[in-house]
Amino acid sequence: MPLPIVAVVGRPNVGKSTFVNRIAQADEAIVHEMRGVTRDRSYHEADWNGVDFKLIDTGGIEMGDDDAFQGSIRVQALAGADESDVVVFLVDGKTGINADDEVVARILRRTAKPVFLVVNKMDTPNRLDEMYEFYQLGLGDPWPVSAMHGHGTGDLLDAIVEKLRCIELPQDVDDDPGINVAIIGRPNAGKSSLTNRLTAGERSIVSDVAGTTRDAIDTVIEHDGRRYTIVDTAGLRRKAQIDQDVEYYGFVRAMRAIDRADVALLVIDSTLGLTDQDQRVAGFAAERGCAMVIVLNKWDLVEGPEAKAEIRERIADRMTFVGYAPVLAVSALTGKKVDRIWEAIDEAYGNFSQTIPTNKLNTWLAAIRETGHTVTQGKAILRVKYVTQTASCPPQFTFFANRPDLVNDNYERFLENRLRESFDLVGTPIRFKFKKKD
């Protein structure tokens, strides 16, 4: 089930992240902290009065060193309006309206989406007189809140959720959307070319699912008797014709696609190598628990075994945090090796959705216990007694131990490496939980 999206837009310092953090429930960290990737805090799940939704802080998306795209207020507003079901436009009640607010307001006045104009930093009720100024933004009644102290946020959420209840989300036209594959990667990496290659000649079940902007680029096809939903994240950009900000915009879109995906297909332009954004998107997919296949596209342009070896090496070096993802070199242009992608998707999905029997896991555990690798603290010794798989998509393993508090990164890495050696986990992230059992 897709969740409705609430996008929070506004210029820097109005309190967007404070607001989002107040509303989003603390993410219960089953996620096993990834090395080398900062957790992306700009995307949260929340619920209020039993309505679940996603909250995007469009200002909190960092674009690495790409200053040109950073914090572009206009794109934030566009992405917010386009990608979401409800927009929360945050302004600063202390400083009042400025030119950036006007820019955002102008864009938001044109959207058909519900927009909540929220005046933050109204920490004391006696300042409510100052609310009148905000009517001039032309976005209806302003909602006073204090993100810091929580005043007003309950009423606001009631109203937002009321709107969300009325929104009809595009449902899957068919009961079986098959394997959801998100094609992600930077502009010009070859996503559309690859999507066309993959879908050409296959039996198309539906295209342009639901016909709304948000899902207009989903294609459901059958390949070798199996069903896939292919989500090409390049499509919308063309439609929206945003030039200078494509990268930022594409990122928001990629996050959306990843969120629904079983398998993320990360397309990299081999002639350009890996960018910060590739890493960031990969990190995001790993964090959301998607299976992943890395596609080195435009391989036809890479000349000579040395250049090829170097590109592969660099990927291996810089993508260690998704070291489980298979890497395929293809050419969307000539079609060479593109067929291999199907096999890789099937394998990654199979591993992602599998359930490993408990007896096998415990035989494995008994064997690795023999190696003597453990954690000690003073006289205490970590003893892992039992393991069972507690979820799939992606697989989650719960270990029962005498002192789960002793488990550290090193030990988790040890377990992960051993587990991957013994079971078929190519293409899928895995999660660990540790529970106490004496």
Supply the DSSP string of 278-317, one letter for each residue. Answer: HHHHHHHHHHTT-EEEEEEE-GGG--SHHHHHHHHHHHHH
Residue 176 corresponds to which tokens in the numbers above? 């079986």
**E strands along 372-425, which residues?**
376-377, 380-381, 384-391, 396-401
Of positions 13, 212, 363, 376, contacts ligand GDP by CB under 6 A: 13
Residues 179-218 that bind ligand GDP (CB under 6 A): 185, 187-193
Q: Which amino acid is at 202?
A: E
Is 81 within any annotated ligand binding site?
no
Smaller CB separation from ligand GDP, 5 or 387: 5
Task: Count the site residues for ligand GDP by CB under 6 A.
Answer: 31
Residue 14 corresponds to which tokens in the numbers above? 């109005």
Residues 156-185 that bind ligand GDP (CB under 6 A): 185
CB of residue 429 to ligand GDP, shortest distance in Å: 24
CB of residue 384 to ligand GDP, shortest distance in Å: 41
Relative to beta strand 263-269, strand 179-184 is: parallel
Contact flag: residue 374 with ligand GDP (CB under 6 A): no
Burial letters for 79-98: b for 16+ Cβ neighbours within 10 Å, e otherwise? bbbbbbbbbbbbbbbeeeee
Smaller CB separation from ligand GDP, 7 or 430: 7
Of positions 29, 30, 68, 148, contacts ligand GDP by CB under 6 A: 148
Smaller CB separation from ligand GDP, 30 or 272: 272
Contact flag: residue 219 with ligand GDP (CB under 6 A): no
Smaller CB separation from ligand GDP, 32 or 41: 41
Contact pattern for ligand GDP over residues 333 through 372, marking x by CB under 6 A? x---------------------------------------
C-alpha triplet 297, 303, 307: angle, nearest 5°: 85
| Integer Cα distance of 404 and 436 in angstroms | 6
Name the phi and psi angles at 330, rounded to 5.
-140, 175
Contact flag: residue 25 with ligand GDP (CB under 6 A): no
Name the 3-class secondary structure at 158: helix
CB of residue 284 to ligand GDP, shortest distance in Å: 17
Q: Is the dihedral of CA 330, 332, 336, 341 positive or negative?
A: positive
Contact flag: residue 146 with ligand GDP (CB under 6 A): yes
| Integer Cα distance of 55 and 306 in angstroms | 45
Of positions 54, 121, 223, 280, contacts ligand GDP by CB under 6 A: 121
Contact flag: residue 17 with ligand GDP (CB under 6 A): yes
Site residues, ligand GDP (CB under 6 A): 10, 12-18, 59, 120-121, 123, 146-148, 185, 187-193, 234, 297-298, 300-301, 331-333
